[in-house]
Structure formats: structure tokens, C-alpha cells
Amino acid sequence: MKKEQLYTIPLGKAYLYTRTKRTMRTIKLLREFVIRHSKRVDVRISLAVNEFLWLGSMQHPPRKVRVKVISDDKMAYVYLPDEKIEAEKPEEVKATDKKVEGKPEAPKESKIEAKKEVAVKAEPVKEVKVEAKKEVKPEAKVEKEVAKKTEVKEKPKKEEKK
């Protein structure tokens, strides 16, 4: 059983909060109001209501908003009074099932086999690159160690005071 009501929700309490959190607070205030009056725990706010609340940016939300609340057995939906309501489309699931049934299974196997062949061809290339990197790294380490030893020897000793 659907119940439809119009409410004017006061949102002035949002101005008691920090400027950067006001619009987020108005959404919470709206949700709490609808929960209290519709006696439903789940509340869905439409995009049009959300956009209306965010028109003044984060810092200047509206002081009050007029909304239409439609509550059914489990949920409450919040809309603007002049907003068009779209019905849910459960038929979309059935349409996707028909597409899956029409595809043949043989091309899937050939695609998998083709991917395996490409992967096998790519492996030797990776091994060559790794071997080249291993040869370069030890020489670079040796050069760095030699450079460190020469730097230590070149440092002059402190002169003693007489």
C-alpha cells in the first residue's frame, strides 16, 4: 500500500554547523525527518532533491524544502512536488538473459586458446630482458663501491693544534 504526503521540511538547524558541512547536514536532517514521519527506516532521496539542496553549494543550503514522500511497505521515497516519478524496470534482467542465450559457446574456447598462445609467445621476450638487467646490476654495484673507497681515501685529515 503506497502512501503519498507533502511536507515542508525545516532545514535551518544546518546553519548551526560549520560552513563546509551544512549541505551534508541538510541531507541528514531531511532523512531524519522522513524517517520520523513515515516510520520507515530505508529512505531514498531522488537526484532532483539532492541537486536542489546542493544549488547553493556546500555553504548555503536552503532553509526549508517542500517535498513529496511516497512510502510503501519497506521504503520511503523523497521527490520534489513537481518531479516526474519513473517506475522501476524489472524487465531489463530478462533482456540481458536473452542475449547470453543466443551466443554460441565455441568462439569462447577459441578466444581462450588464442590468449594462451599469445602468452606463450610473450614469455621468452620477458626472460631476455631479465637476464640483461641482471648483468648490468652487479657492474653498477662494483663501480659504486670503488667510488666510495676512493672518496674515503681522498678526504684530508684534520690538522692538530700546537
3-10 vs 42-45, strand pairing mode:
unpaired
Residue 36 pLDDT greater than 90, yes or no: yes
pLDDT of residue 61: 95
Long-range contacts at 86-92 (CB < 8 A, ≥ 24 apart): none
Give the pTM. Answer: 0.53
Q: Which strands sit side by side in the sheet containing 75-79, from one edge to the other?
A: 3-10, 64-71, 75-79, 42-45
Task: Report how far residue 111's alpha carbon sits from residue 117's, in angstroms, rounded to the nearest whole number.
Answer: 10
Cell of 11: 532545514
- Per CATH, the number for 3-83 is 3.10.440.10
For the chain, give every domain's residue range.
3-83, 107-153
Q: Cα torsion for 9, 12, 54, 23, to the nearest 10°? A: -110
Task: Report how far residue 70's alpha carbon sits from residue 40's, in angstroms, rounded to the nearest whole number.
Answer: 11
pLDDT in tens, 48-92: 999 999 999 999 999 999 999 999 988 999 999 998 887 655 555
